[in-house]
Structure 1
Amino acid sequence: MALTIEISTKELLAARTIFGDDLPLAERFVHHLATSGIERGLLGPRELPRLWDRHVLNCAVVGELIPEASRVADVGSGAGLPGLALAIARPDAAFLLIEPLERRVNWLREVTEDLGLKNVEIFRGRAEQAIGKSDVDVVTARAVSALSGLASLTLPLLKGPGEVLAIKGRSAGEEVEKAAKIIRRLGGKSTRVETVGGDLLDEPTTVVRIVVER
């Protein structure tokens, strides 16, 4: 019996808007998450009913903040969130997925190959080991660590001007306050909290944007 993954009418409309002609790729990605992703422990089984809204769409809407033809590093890619979701939504951009755990890297490689994503490279290692491996314009992250720690992992990946897009929750403002000094020390010139996807999703995505001008 085929696995049925729930998607509401509103979520389907949002998915069509975000992914366009590549919606079938997004659907296959969700199927991977719902099957092997859960089987291998990349996501908990309780996440199955909300794979679209809580995970894939929540991440993919951040694509509207990424400039055209950008080179993007995704730190702690795990289950491809946000890295693979963004790579499907933004085929014009190039993505370097950074993940230290072998089982997750193996899964990411399998899914990337199955989806035929030519704009994705995968680096097995920690973020600090990826410094200098690729010139990037944007660094993304989701559910990696508090912003004070995340700043140390992400900002050094930017050699020149660029920005960090960190997907956060309701405590984003508090995290920005606590991390302000370390962000400035690492070259962050401005930090602000934004929401994206409010016109598409029931709950918009909160993003901390850290701009670097070197």
Structure 2
Amino acid sequence: MRFDVVAAGHKLMMLGWGVLAFVVVVGGLLLLLDTVPNWFARRADRRLAAASATTAPATASAIPAASAGRRRRFRRGEAVFAVFFLLPAVLLLFIGLVVPTIRTIVLSLMDGQSERWVGFDNYVWMFSQDESLLVLRNTLIWVILVPLLATSVGLIYAVLVDRARFESLAKALIFMPTAISFVGAGIIWKFVYAYRSAEQEQIGLL
């Protein structure tokens, strides 16, 4: 099946606009993150220099009050810096996770054409299908077992690598994939995906 560029032109254009918008948003946020804190720091330095040049504490009792004021201004500056550092991540999480989640929930309460509200009918239908229940069961098993096994294997390897009896073997197993050349890996996968007709001897795994 050939890829029709003309038929998919609209989708490609939308994809291009999406990539461009992402680059612009991320680039703008990074630019703000780089310039705004410096601008606030320079502004604070100018204010401090102006205050030092024009006024001086008249008595010793005014020094603690001035120090407390500087500490409050410093805390406010730190809060502003924290907001600007967190804003890009929060904005990207909101666009990439929160908005799609809300949209998915809303669409799940509508019909197949997303034109009419059907309430929880879609969920009732889903939980009444054997295939859906099988998928949910497999997903639940995957969510429970995979993190458990991955964490267990990681802890076992950490114990073996850290001055254990099988330290050399564990390190060899860890670094062995990096020792296999790309050429050798390519030849192996070539045999894995090797296709032969039914009357010939099969050597591929798929």
Q: Could you tell me the TM-score, scaled by structure 2's length?
A: 0.19
TM-score by length of 1: 0.19
**Larger strand share, 1 or 2:** 1
- Greater Rg, structure 1 or structure 2? 2
Larger RCO, structure (CA 8 Å, separation 6 or more):
1
The structure carrying a bigger helix percent of its residues is: 2
